[in-house]
Structure 1
Amino acid sequence: MQFSFEFVLETLPALIAAAGVTIRVAAITIALSLFFGTVLTIVRALKIRPVNVAISIYISFIRGTPLLVQIFLAYYALPALGIRLGPVTAGVLAITANNAAFMTEIFRGALASIPPGQIEAAASLGLKPRAIWLKVVLPQLYMRSLPAIVNECTIVIKGTALLAVITVVEVFRTAQQIGSSSFRPFETFVAAGIVFLGLCLIISQFGLWLERRFALRRGT
């Protein structure tokens, strides 16, 4: 059976429609990852030893195990503890837990690059710790981490493909269904790859636009 570009084009509309699920899952996951990554960074900065040890264990577990295992744990293991989640919720939980760990590591590196004098100056002006974090630290933290954040966002987009194993009907699951029914898996997965590539390129270009915008602000 010869490769058919026509079939790739015919398959794209169905996969683009399924990308709506991928985008929703990724958007929720990225927002939650940024939030929890920020919270973990602030908590780690307080230097409460038992808490930091617990966070280090969590990060080590996330970095040392495959995302697929974490998805299975969220979907199949949590019910054993009485926590039953739907496929999408379990998927969002697993990818968020994974991505938040990497986000806080990114933020930890960015935090170390912020001159301590700025924080000391803000404190000497009478700003409370909350105001220092919101007005001095976090804006710089996000700007310094932007390229890495964008990279993590593309990883989340690609990671949603793993949710097909717990029956979330996103781009990859839809491609599996079309490939099985048409007996043309090669063309179908090429089409899926094009959709994922398009989504990642959009995120990358948006990240570049933000970088240029921040650079112009700093220049003024």
Structure 2
Amino acid sequence: MDFDFWGMIGAFPSLSRAAFTNLTIAIVAMSLAMLGGTTLTILRSFGISIVNGAISTLISFVRGTPILVQIFLFYYGLPAIGLDLTPIQAGVLAIAVNSSVFITEIMRGGLSGMDTGPVEAAIALGVRPRAIWGRVILPQLYIRILPPLVNELTTVVKGTALLSVITVIEVLRTAQQIANTTFRPLEPLLAAAVILFALNLAISQAGKHLETRFAARRG
């Protein structure tokens, strides 16, 4: 079968509209993951053995199982316990929980190399722990771990394509629908790959720009 270049070009309009779904899901899931990862990091800092044990179990499970399995667990498992979610809602939660685990590990690594001087000064001044986290630790930590956070966001964007298996109409699902109609799978799938690559390239470049700006401020 010859490659149809114009067939690939013709798939871009539909795929570009579908890409908005991928981007929206990625932004919402990453926002929830940042909240979840930060919460897990703060909870781990308390040193409560039962809590840390539960978090370690969660981390081991998420890191040891494919994200596709986790998506299926959320999609089919939550309705079994009375939580009837749409495919998009289940997919967002699955990706957010998965990403939360990796973000808390990123944050733990970032904390290990941070200057403890400002924290010690805040403690000496009697600043409350909540304020120390909110005003001293987290602002520095987020800037410090910006590059791996950007990498995690690109991973989340790629993960949104897996939601096609639970009927979310996004780039990959749309490419499959075009392939079923035209009987030419290569062209729409290649166009979908180009669009996802372009999204992640834009995210990476934006991350580098932010990193440069923060570095200039520190300088």
Bin of the TM-score, shorter chain as denominator length: over 0.9
Q: Distance in 2 between matches of 1:24 and 1:117?
A: 39
Q: If the length of structure 1 is used for normalisation, what is the TM-score?
A: 0.97
Matches within 5 A, 1:67-86: 67-86=67-86
Secondary structure, counterpart of 1:176 in structure 2: helix
Instruction: Provide Cα deviations, 1:88-129, integer angstroms capped at 9, x if missing partner.
Output: 000001000100000000001101111223211111123221
Instruction: Provide Cα deviations, 1:16-50, integer angstroms capped at 9, x if missing partner.
Output: 00011111111100100011101110111111110
Q: Distance in 2 between matches of 1:215 and 1:38?
A: 23
Where does residue 55 of structure 2 map in the other structure?
A: 55
Number of residue pairs matched?
A: 219
Where does residue 141 of structure 2 map in the other structure?
A: 141
Where does residue 19 of structure 1 map in the other structure?
A: 19
RMSD of Structure 2 on Structure 1 (CA): 0.8
Q: Distance in 1 between matches of 2:40 and 2:209?
A: 28
Where does residue 164 of structure 2 map in the other structure?
A: 164
One-letter amino acid matched to 2:178: I
One-letter amino acid matched to 1:191: A
1:128 pairs with 2:128: yes
Structure 1: any 5+ residue segments left out of the alignment?
none
One-letter amino acid matched to 2:37: G
Q: Distance in 2 between matches of 1:107 and 1:159?
A: 21
Secondary structure, counterpart of 2:145 in structure 1: helix
What percentage of residue pairs aligned between the two structures are identical?
A: 54
One-letter amino acid matched to 1:40: L
Where does residue 107 of structure 1 map in the other structure?
A: 107
Q: If the length of structure 2 is used for normalisation, what is the TM-score?
A: 0.98
Displacement over 2 Å in runs of 4+: 115-118
